[in-house]
Every structure is written in structure tokens, then in C-alpha cells.
């Protein structure tokens, strides 16, 4: 088993300390992968407080700011990993089973 070196991660206290988020629209950084998704995230825009957290953590850049000032999910590129739902601290994103 490989030994990984432990590093300390700084605590980020303000949104300005976070990275800029996805630098490209999702289709620039990944192939479409919606076909093998079992669960999909559903974002409740009424509950969302636009903290940007899901946008910053989505590994596929599939979450984008919307015209309403909230966020929307591009289901063509979302793979259903659930990271956004886990990281949303007010549970504004729920993972629901895909209907085929």
C-alpha cells in the first residue's frame, strides 16, 4: 500500500479565500456522462442561499450560476456522484433515483 504524505489544509473563513470555481463550462472538461447515472441531484432553488459551495466542489463543473442568482445543474454532464449534495450544508440538494 502506498504511503500518502499528510498535509495540513488551511481553514477557509471567507468566500474570497475559495478557488474561483470551474474555469470552463462542463463540456470543456469532461465527456457527457449522464448515461450511467443512478441517482441525480435535485437543487431546491427556494432553499438555496447561493453560497457557491456546490459550484466550487462539483468535479465535473456541472453546476452553473443561473439568471435567478441561484445555481442550476447541467444533467448532460452530471455523473451523479453526490458530492454537491453532501457539501450543501443546508440540504438544498437531494439525490433522487433516476427514472429510466
Strands 63-65 and 71-73: antiparallel
- Which of 49, 44, 54, 45 shows the shortest CA–CA distance to 78? 54
Examine residue 29 and tell whether it contacts ligand SF4 (CB under 6 A).
no
The nearer residue to ligand SF4, 8 or 75, going by C-beta atoms, is 75
Instruction: State the minimum distance, in angstroms, from the CB of residue 35 to ligand SF4.
Output: 13
Distance CA 77, CA 60 (A): 7
HSE value, Cβ hemisphere, 13 Å, CA-based, for 55: 21
The nearer residue to ligand SF4, 90 or 96, going by C-beta atoms, is 90
Q: Which residues are near ligand SF4 by CB under 6 A?
A: 41, 43, 48-54, 58, 60, 62-63, 71, 73, 78-84, 88, 90, 92-93
Amino acid at each position: 500500500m502506498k504511503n500518502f504524505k499528510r498535509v495540513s489544509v488551511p481553514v477557509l473563513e471567507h468566500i474570497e479565500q475559495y478557488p474561483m470555481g470551474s474555469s470552463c463550462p462542463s463540456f470543456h472538461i469532461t465527456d457527457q456522462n449522464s448515461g450511467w447515472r443512478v441517482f441525480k441531484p435535485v437543487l431546491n432553488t427556494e432553499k438555496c442561499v447561493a453560497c457557491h459551495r456546490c459550484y466550487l466542489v462539483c468535479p465535473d463543473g456541472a453546476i452553473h450560476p443561473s439568471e435567478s442568482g441561484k445555481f442550476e445543474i447541467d444533467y448532460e454532464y452530471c455523473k451523479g456522484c453526490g458530492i454537491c449534495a453532501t457539501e450543501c450544508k443546508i440540504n438544498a440538494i437531494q439525490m433522487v433515483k433516476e427514472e429510466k
